[in-house]
Structure formats: structure tokens, C-alpha cells
Amino acid sequence: MGATHTPRTGHRRNRHARAVNYEVVVRGELGPVLRAALLPVRATATQEQTVLRARLAKDRELADLVSALRSHGVRVASITVLD
């Protein structure tokens, strides 16, 4: 009890884990298919970079997001904790 299944990653996480707001900046613009696959991550793009914002359970979900981006050839430029 207390664990939920995360549909994006297939991993189980503790529902009581502290969620953190992150900003992840990646090089270039992400296409619509990749952006849709990353929902509920919010994306704002320019030609040079895409800024992703998401509320994630610390560590594991962030690692899964970065891994998913890298597996699609996306270069992560920076990660910032917003709160």
C-alpha cells in the first residue's frame, strides 16, 4: 500500500515521496511525438533549445526523464531545481 504505478516509466514509486519542480534545458527543438511522449512535462521551445518543466518525485523520475531524452539523442544542457 502507498505505491503507485507510473505509466511513463513502468516503475513503482512511493506515493508519499516528495515531488520537486525541475527545469530541464535541452539543445534544439523537440518534435511533437517526443513532446507528447513526455507528458505531463511542459515544453517551451526556441530554435536553440527546449525548456522542459515538470514536477517529479526526486531522483528516480528525474533519472528516467533524462534517460528517455538521451535514448532519443537529445542533449541535456542543464537541470535546475525550481523549489
Q: How many domains does the chain have?
A: 1
Domain residues for the domain of 28 are 3-81
* Segment 31-65, tens digit of pLDDT: 888 988 888 899 999 889 999 999 998 788 999 99
Q: Are 33 and 73 in contact (CB under 8 A)?
A: no
Residue type at position 61: E
Q: Which CATH number goes with the domain that contains 23?
A: 3.30.70
Query: pTM here?
Result: 0.74
CB 64 within 8 A of CB 81: no
- Percent of the chain residues topping a pLDDT of 90: 54
